[in-house]
Structure formats: C-alpha cells, structure tokens
C-alpha cells in the first residue's frame, strides 16, 4: 500500500487518502448585497473539479467569521445563514465524490481590506469599499498599509464568539472538519508573534499571554464542534526573522498546547507576518518544520510548500515527516493530480463512473 493512498482516521472521520488541498483564496464572492460572502459558480466548479480528481480532503479557502475579518471584499464568509446554505451545494458534491469537505475559519486582522490580488492587492479605502482593519497592536503590516485599530478585550471576546458561530454554521453547511487559521500574518498569528503583538495586558508579552487568544478561539470552536469530528489549526512555524519573531521552538510548544485543547492536526506553513521577510524557497522547503513538530510533539501534522511530485509526496510520508501532504499550486495546475499520482505509485484510487474510460 502506498503511504500516500492509505486511508486515515481522525476521531471518527476517515479520510480516503493523504492527498489534501489547502485553503487558497479565490477572491470571487460577491462583495456586497444579500449574497455577499457566499460562494459562486466559480467556487463550485473549482472545488468540484479537485474532488472529481481524487483529492482526499479539501479545505475550503479562508472563510471570514465577520465582514471586517475578510482579506478582501471578495472573500467567502460564514457570518450568516445564507452563506452556510449556499456552501451546502459544494459540500454535498464533495461528499458524493468521496472527498472530505473541510473549511478554514479566518480573520484577516491588520491584513484585511485589500483588493483582489490580480488587480493590485493594495489596501482599499472607504471610498473603494474598504474598512479600517483591527489588530492586537496598532502596527501597520507594511508600507502603504493603514494603521489598524487596537482590539479591546471586549472586541476580542466578540471575535472569539464569531469563530464559534461560524463553526456552528460550518457544521450546518455540511463540513466534516474545521480549521482555525493561525498563520500567514492574519489576526491569530498577529497575536502569537512578538513582532506584531506589543500589548502589555494579559494578551501580550510572554509566550503564555501571546498564545492566550489562539487557545480561546480553539476552545470556543471545539466547544461547538462535534466530538467525533476533527479540528485543525494552521500555523506559520516561523516568521523568518533572525530574532524578535515567532520561532520553530514556539511552534513545537504551541503544538503540545493545541493538542491539550482538543486540536487533532497541525497544518504547518511559514511566514506571512513580516512584509520584508526573506524566505528561501525550494522543493519541500517547509517540510522540515512539519517534521520537527511531528518528532517533538504529540500532534499529527500536514506538510505544505512546493510539494509537486508523487514520489516526493510519498517519501515525505514514508519517512515519517508528516501524516498528510497539502498541494496548493500543483492542484491549481492539475485538478486530477491525485489520480495521476496513484498511477505513478501503482496505487488504487477512486474514479468517477463518468471518467472510467480514462483509466
């Protein structure tokens, strides 16, 4: 049996293989009106193609827990029931294809209110449909970005509740797993890192204080999410700073804390919190961070980052560096990557009846 195509059970959920799709924003939802934040035909076609292509688990893109938590006005959301009902069409199709539907719940923090990346990706002013971002501390993400509003503890309590409410809607929408977005310089990561968190209250300073908000969000989500279904957490394992940022050592420590709070898997990425950070990319460049968490903590991990070839993915799992692999750009290029990888590795995987002539 190929390690890549071995089923895996987390809690009571069995995932058919270890080829997973990470959350990748499509910036294609309506920006306003009664369907703001709801998926469109683009979203259905996008996710349906990867499910038909044999992907074992698909994590739907960063889905905002509130309007002001969107990266852009064109992001998906789960702050109302209309959005949840619209997502049922996608989860229903994925489930029918044997793919596990998951969703990433997110708040963009100080990186909110930007344009679609193919237009400019620049911050939007109020006259362009934008809004003032919020953050742990009033520190702009980078040049040209606005100074965010510092969250009060009352506002933080509201955000925690929004995560829980979004998780309830995710369950009603048919998702089988939920991921808390704590990476890439968005709100939870901003709290974790001393680079972006300069608070002097119970949510800043020490490691325990800086991780407090993340654990409160996890506790709120876990409290409303069924015990038989898994909760994931996405983390940036490093800020890629020589000092003064979030570190791999912090990540290992956080993994143990998240495990104790009911998280079932750590989705290990890196970066995103420092605009000018230098990141040395290359094939599998983030895998060592996942491997370290797996070796030094009790939490299972998924690896991501320029994983493109079947043999490469198989080796990562066979060597015990990760429990699953997430393929981003590669699945954008090839929706049927999982079926192609199965043929390469001599493994069996499902094929839709309509595509049997392709076997």
Could you give the CA distance from residue 160 to residue 21 in angstroms, rounded to a whole number? 26
- Closest Cα to residue 263, out of 204, 220, 207, 324? 220
- Distance between CA atoms of 287 and 321, rounded to whole angstroms? 7
Q: Which of 27, 74, 186, 203 is catalytic?
A: 186
Closest CA to 88 of 29, 21, 167, 175: 175
Q: Are 138 and 150 in contact (CB under 8 A)?
A: yes
Q: At residue 106, what are phi and psi to the nearest 5 degrees?
A: -145, 155
The residue behind tokens 């089923």 is: 7
| Total residues belonging to the chain | 359
Cα distance between residue 54 and residue 111, in whole Å: 33
Q: Are the beta carbons of 332 and 26 closer than 8 angstroms?
A: no
Asked if residue 86 lies in contact with residue 35, where contact means CB atoms within 8 angstroms, the answer is yes
What are the backbone angles phi and psi of residue 110, rounded to the nearest 5°?
-75, -10
Question: Distance between CA atoms of 355 and 359, rounded to whole angstroms?
Answer: 7
CA distances from 149 to 104, 154, 197, 212, 214 (A): 24, 13, 13, 20, 19
CA distance 72 to 135: 16
186 is known as an active-site residue: yes
User: Exposed, middle or buried: residue 219 (CB in 10 Å: 0-12, 13-18, 19+)?
Assistant: middle
Token code pair at residue 147: 């100074």
Q: Kindly list the catalytic residues.
A: 186
């Amino acid at each position: 049996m190929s390690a890549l195509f071995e089923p895996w059970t987390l809690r009571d959920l069995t995932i058919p293989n270890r080829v997973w799709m990470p959350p990748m924003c499509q910036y294609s939802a309506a920006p306003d009106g009664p369907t703001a934040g709801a998926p469109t035909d683009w979203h259905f076609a996008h996710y349906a193609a990867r499910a038909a292509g044999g992907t074992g688990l698909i994590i739907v893109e960063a889905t905002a827990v509130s309007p002001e938590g969107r990266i852009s006005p064109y992001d998906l959301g789960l702050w109302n029931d209309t959005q949840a009902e619209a997502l049922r069409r996608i989860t229903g199709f994925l489930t029918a294809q044997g793919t596990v539907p998951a969703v990433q719940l997110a708040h963009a923090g100080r990186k909110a209110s930007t344009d679609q990346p193919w237009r400019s990706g620049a911050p939007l002013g109020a006259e362009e449909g934008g809004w003032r971002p919020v953050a742990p501390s009033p520190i702009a993400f980078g040049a040209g970005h606005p100074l965010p509003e510092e969250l009060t503890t009352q506002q933080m309590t509201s955000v925690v509740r929004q995560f829980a409410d979004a998780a309830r809607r995710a369950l009603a929408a048919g998702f089988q797993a939920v991921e808390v977005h704590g990476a890439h310089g968005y709100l939870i990561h901003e709290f974790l890192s001393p680079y972006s968190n300069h608070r002097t209250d119970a949510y800043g300073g020490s490691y325990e204080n800086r991780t407090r908000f993340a654990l409160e969000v996890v506790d709120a989500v876990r409290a409303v999410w069924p015990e038989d279904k898994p909760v994931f957490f996405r983390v940036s394992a490093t800020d890629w700073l020589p000092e003064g940022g979030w570190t791999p050592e912090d990540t290992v420590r956080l993994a143990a804390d998240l495990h104790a709070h009911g998280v079932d898997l750590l989705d290990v990425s890196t970066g995103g919190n420092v605009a000018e950070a230098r990141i040395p990319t290359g094939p599998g460049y983030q895998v060592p961070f996942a491997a370290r968490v797996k070796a030094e903590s009790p939490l299972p991990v998924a690896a991501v980052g320029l994983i493109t070839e079947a043999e490469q993915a198989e080796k990562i799992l066979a060597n015990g560096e990760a429990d699953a692999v997430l393929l981003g750009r590669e699945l954008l290029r090839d929706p049927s990557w999982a079926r192609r990888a199965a043929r390469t590795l001599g493994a069996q995987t499902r094929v839709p009846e309509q595509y049997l002539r392709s076997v």
